[in-house]
Amino acid sequence: MAAATTALRIGVIGGSIAGCAAAVAGSRAGADVTVYERSGAELQDRGFGIVIPPPLHRELVGSGYLDARMETAPVATRVWLTREPGGRSTRELARQSSPVTPCNWGLLWRSLRAGAGSGAVRYLRGEPVTSVGTAPDGRAVVTTARGEERYDIVVGADGHASRTRQLLAPGLTPEPAGYLVWRGAIPLSALADHPRELELLRGAWVTLGFPGGHGIFYLIPGAGDRLLAYAIYGRPPASPGVDADPGPYVSELAEEHFPAAWAEIVGHGTHRTTACHPVADLQVPRAARAPLLLAGDAAGVSRPHTASGAVKALQDALCLERVLRDEPTVGAALERYADERTAAGAHLVELGRRMGRAQVEGTPDWAAMGQAEVDDWFRGVLAGTRHYLYEQPGAGVTA
């Protein structure tokens, strides 16, 4: 499509990570891109910690999607912990080789936003889209308060509650998993009295198992010093209040189930940010149909155990750029995108469900497990599936 791409017009609905990445992709492929972001505020303070596969991070930096100066906190090892039976001390179960590149959501968005600020991209903040339709010539029509614009492709990057998705998959809504995830970020001062835990986190990301759930902990860059990011999965409290301040319940959960040191870190730390979300998943039957294309959570939501929300959005963008460059027509490009990204999304949704069943809905007897048991158990969870977090279950790491 190289000759025709210079005249291509792409509209992107949503200016978060998926939208900015798609805008960079379209711009790099030679298209004129307009991003419609409904929020009038900057988005850099939204979100928490995320992780990216190291090879993907290198590819994004090398190809110009991300600034090489964007801070990350790479680690190479996953450590499994639980509470010692009958006590409050920490018991280490296993170590596995699991290289990841943790990032701060806000820093990642800021780097992508800078890339989407080139001359070929208009980023319209505070510009909600009221409707998307199709003109008689097959092009897409985007309507906002300022009027109508026509595009060869419209990318729906408007998140898990995507309105654009309804055009390709009417009535499709996320399927609840029946449990919640509590996310937060805590300044490293919370670890000041816990040097062993801090030393561990400087070289590893941690999974802490407890009856009915588990917690994930890792360091991310912050404004100045690093932050401790966490995601804790478990059943809803007896008195539901997802929209209430999640801090108190997380502290109660930690006090009940965590080793003393980890309970103190979570319970006494000043939470920089906290949020609670129901866990759910969905996958569209087809991620594109000319002139529409879905990216990021608009196309599919996997349970966050796969750590693939931002990763999938970035991979969607790389695929979009590739098909725009390689295919002779818009229709052919979107068909190839749909083939590749629909299959990838379905793979993640199924893996996330298996991981949720194993780590929340039917947790093992964590305290009875050691290195061999953890490795065998998780090979069963993966069931032959490959995923960047779990390339080598069984590749133990010496402490």
Q: Which residue has the higher pLDDT, 202 or 235?
A: 202
The residue type of 251 is S
Paired tokens of 240: 């539901």
Taking only the tens place, the pLDDT of each residue in 46-104 is 558 999 999 999 999 999 999 999 999 999 999 999 999 988 999 999 999 999 999 99
Q: How far apart are CA 375 and CA 368, in angstroms?
A: 13
Neighbouring-strand partners of residue 50: 103
Decide: 8 and 30 in contact? Cβ < 8 Å.
Answer: yes
Residues paired with residue 36 on neighbouring β-strands, in sequence order: 13, 124
CA atoms of 239 and 236, how far apart (whole Å): 8
Q: How many residues does the structure list for the chain?
A: 399
- Residue 12, CA distances (Å) to 27, 69, 226, 355 in order: 12, 26, 33, 32
Looking at residue 398, its pLDDT comes to 37
Lowest mean pLDDT among 264-268, 285-289, 301-305, 385-389: 385-389
Q: What percent of the chain has pLDDT over 90?
A: 78
pLDDT at 251 over 90: no
pLDDT at position 303 over 80: yes
Confidence of residue 399 (pLDDT cuts 50, 70, 90): very low
Q: Are strands 300-301 and 49-52 parallel, antiparallel or unpaired?
A: unpaired
Task: Tell how far CA 297 is from the center of its chain.
Answer: 9
Pinpoint the alpha helices (H) of the chain: 2-5, 17-28, 54-62, 105-115, 165-168, 195-201, 247-257, 260-268, 309-326, 330-356, 371-382
Q: Hey, what domains does the chain have and what are their CATH numbers?
A: 2-45+106-172+282-352 (3.50.50.60), 75-104+175-280+363-390 (3.30.9.60)
Q: How much of the chain exceeds pLDDT 70, in percent?
A: 91
Most confident of 39-43, 265-269, 270-274, 279-283: 279-283
pLDDT of residue 397: 42
Q: What is the rounded average pLDDT for all residues in the chain? A: 91
pLDDT tens track for 6-37:
479 999 999 999 999 999 999 999 999 999 99
Helix (H, G, I), strand (E, B) or coil at 133: strand
CA distance 131 to 172: 18
Find out whether 301 and 282 touch, Cβ atoms under 8 Å. Answer: yes
For the stretch 307-311, contacts whose Cβ atoms lie closer than 8 Å and that sit 24 or more positions apart, written own/partner, are 307/50, 307/51, 307/100, 307/389, 308/348, 308/352, 309/50, 310/17, 310/50, 310/52, 310/103, 310/105, 310/108, 311/50, 311/51, 311/52, 311/53, 311/56, 311/388
How far, in Å, CA of 231 to CA of 319, rounded? 29
**What was the pLDDT predicted at 240?**
58
Strand order in the sheet with 213-220: 49-52, 90-104, 75-83, 204-210, 213-220, 227-234, 175-187, 273-283, 300-301
Per-residue model confidence as pLDDT tens digits over 360-385: 999 999 999 999 999 999 899 998 88
The whole-angstrom separation of Cα 74 and Cα 163 is: 36
Q: What is the pLDDT of residue 101?
A: 97
